[in-house]
């Protein structure tokens, strides 16, 4: 395909033509368009400048890095955003082409002769400019440079990024430095986790930076980050606490279990949910009882689901035993939690026992759960259609609907004239569903 028509359109008076030209040149994938798109970065229309940035990001040519860095100062926020995205795209693409092992000890601003012989000059020039831009007066430029260097995996920028993380006056720059260090670590720089851990005491009081630091440590999964995750569980920002639970789970350290069990009582639903999922990942049987206590009826549905998922990852014998034990607890809420969870781990016999509980809420939970444990649950559920408590009878009808066994139709039909209107409605719904299935 010839670029000529689009290069001509790039100079047209009509803005739409120039926008179409930028898009077409970016999609064409021809490096010959780079210089022309760089010229378009001077267009008086912000939309065209933004489109040119996007096109340069698609081409992923390191020669575009200097002009893209300059666009981080553009008056138009949309242009700055597109320039930033383009820099990341170039960095991501060029990272695989750079010999990171040979560049590990290189100074980005003064590369050795060896480096100049093994790396494309355009790449070296781009790295040098980005490293110098870490000291730029404009925070937008520092942010863009930090992210791009992280994507490129330039180990030589480690010291500058570590300094930005703790000392830069702009919190957004410090957050970008944390993310960039994580990228360096993922590319093999073993110093990155150390810098993030060392920075924690200085950044923990700034919630936005604390989030970025803990997230970076979660991604790196370094054992030295354990104490950061431990402290982060007590942070005032719920995002930090949620990330901390993930970090503790990935640590695989048994010492994480009691900490995550305490997090099951956190004030924030997301933290409690994440703590339950984290305990499931650790699969430590010491957490079983605490998880059961965390699934009581007044808990948020997402937390109860997470608890159920966690228990399915643990030793089934221990889980079933703990749930049977909870059925004997004096608190109805705990017994109801056990009945709900028995459905998640398919303990049919335990649920049949729960159907005889003195508390209607426990019997209701058992009836609903029986709907998920298989064909042998049909007979107990049919019997529960005669329970003295109408809410249990509703749950029994719903349980039979969930079970999906058309053999339950005669029993449901016998109770179709129940004295309570809600029960009659639930039975009607179940009958329609089972008739359709049959």
Q: DSSP labels for 216-271?
A: HHHHHT-GGGHHHHHHHTT-SSHHHHHHHHHHHHHH--TTHHHHHHHHTT-SSHHH
| SS3 assignment, position 302 | helix
The verdict on domain 348-438 having CATH code 1.25.10.10 is: yes
Q: Which residue has the tokens 């970008």?
A: 176
Letter string b/e over residues 161-198, b meaning 16 or more CB atoms within 10 A of that residue's CB: bbebbbebeeebbbbbbbbbbbbbbebebeebbbbbbe
Binned at pLDDT 50, 70 and 90, residue 89 comes out as: confident
Helices 121-133 + 77-95 axis angle, to 10: 130
Phi/psi for 44 (5° steps) reads -70, -20
Q: Which residues, 6 or more positions from 436, have their beta carbon under 8 angstroms from its beta carbon?
A: none
Question: pLDDT tens for residues 27-83?
Answer: 998 999 999 999 999 999 999 999 999 999 999 888 888 899 899 989 999 999 999
Binned at pLDDT 50, 70 and 90, residue 153 comes out as: confident
| SS3 assignment, position 118 | helix
Distance CA 56, CA 39 (A): 11
Distance CA 161, CA 166 (A): 9
Question: pLDDT tens for residues 314-333?
Answer: 999 999 999 999 999 999 99
pLDDT at 404 over 70: yes
pLDDT at 366 over 70: yes
pLDDT at 105 over 60: no
pTM of the model: 0.82
Give the closest residue to 278 by CA, choosing from 226, 235, 313.
313
Q: Are 19 and 6 in contact (CB under 8 A)?
A: no
Give the closest residue to 62 by CA, choosing from 154, 162, 142, 183.
154
Neighbouring CB atoms inside 10 A of 303's CB total 22
Mean pLDDT, rounded, for 117-136: 71
How many residues appear in the chain?
438
**Which DSSP state fits 35?**
H
Question: What is the per-residue pLDDT for 110?
Answer: 63
Q: Are 282 and 275 in contact (CB under 8 A)?
A: no
pLDDT at 421 over 70: yes
Domain map of the chain by residue range?
348-438
Helices 316-326 + 332-344 axis angle, to 10: 150
Q: Which residue has the tokens 């003295």?
A: 388
CA 219 to chain centre: 11
Q: Are 320 and 351 in contact (CB under 8 A)?
A: no
Question: What is the per-residue pLDDT for 97?
Answer: 59
| Token couple for 352 | 């049949």
Give the closest residue to 213 by CA, choosing from 254, 253, 185.
185
CA 242 to chain centre: 10
**Which DSSP state fits 315?**
-
Neighbouring CB atoms inside 10 A of 212's CB total 27
Binned at pLDDT 50, 70 and 90, residue 342 comes out as: very high
Question: What is the per-residue pLDDT for 113?
Answer: 42
Binned at pLDDT 50, 70 and 90, residue 334 comes out as: very high
Distance CA 48, CA 42 (A): 9
Distance CA 397, CA 429 (A): 8
Q: Are 367 and 355 in contact (CB under 8 A)?
A: yes
Give the closest residue to 3 by CA, choosing from 22, 13, 12.
22
């Amino acid at each position: 395909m010839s670029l000529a028509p689009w290069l001509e359109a790039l100079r047209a008076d009509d803005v739409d033509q120039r926008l179409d030209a930028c898009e077409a040149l970016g999609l064409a994938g021809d490096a010959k368009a780079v210089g022309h798109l760089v010229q378009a970065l001077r267009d008086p229309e912000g939309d065209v400048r933004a489109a040119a940035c996007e096109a340069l990001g698609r081409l992923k040519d390191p020669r575009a890095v200097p002009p893209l860095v300059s666009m981080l100062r553009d008056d138009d926020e949309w242009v700055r955003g597109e320039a930033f995205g383009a820099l990341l795209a170039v960095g991501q693409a060029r990272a695989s082409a750079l010999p990171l092992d040979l560049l590990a000890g290189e100074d980005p601003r003064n590369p050795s002769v060896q480096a100049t012989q093994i790396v494309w000059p355009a790449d070296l020039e781009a790295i040098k400019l980005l490293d110098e831009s870490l000291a730029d007066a404009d925070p937008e430029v520092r942010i863009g440079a930090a992210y791009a260097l992280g994507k490129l995996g330039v180990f030589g920028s480690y010291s500058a990024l570590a300094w930005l993380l703790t000392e830069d006056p702009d919190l957004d720059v410090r957050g970008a430095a944390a993310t960039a260090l994580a990228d360096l670590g993922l590319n093999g720089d073993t110093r990155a986790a150390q810098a993030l851990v060392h920075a924690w005491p200085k950044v923990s009081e700034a919630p936005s930076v604390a989030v970025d630091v803990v997230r970076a440590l979660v991604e790196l999964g370094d054992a030295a980050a354990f104490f950061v995750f431990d402290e982060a569980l007590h942070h005032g920002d719920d995002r930090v606490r949620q990330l901390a639970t993930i970090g503790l789970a990935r640590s695989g350290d048994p010492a994480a279990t009691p900490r995550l069990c305490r997090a099951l009582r956190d004030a924030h639903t997301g933290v409690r949910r994440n703590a339950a999922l984290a305990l499931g990942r650790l699969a430590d049987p010491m957490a079983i009882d605490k998880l059961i206590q965390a699934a009581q009826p007044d808990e948020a549905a997402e937390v109860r689901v997470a608890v159920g998922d966690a228990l399915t990852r643990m030793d089934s014998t221990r889980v079933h035993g703990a749930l049977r034990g909870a059925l004997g607890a004096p608190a109805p809420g705990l017994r109801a939690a056990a009945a709900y969870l028995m459905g998640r781990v398919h303990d049919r016999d335990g649920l049949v026992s729960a159907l005889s509980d003195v508390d209607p809420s426990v019997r209701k939970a058992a009836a609903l759960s029986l709907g998920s444990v298989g064909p042998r649950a049909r007979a107990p559920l049919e019997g529960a259609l005669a329970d003295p408590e109408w809410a249990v009878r509703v749950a029994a009808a719903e349980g039979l609907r969930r079970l999906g066994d058309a053999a339950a139709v005669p029993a449901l039909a016998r109770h179709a004239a129940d004295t309570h209107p809600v029960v009659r409605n639930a039975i009607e719904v179940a009958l329609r569903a089972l008739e359709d299935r049959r």
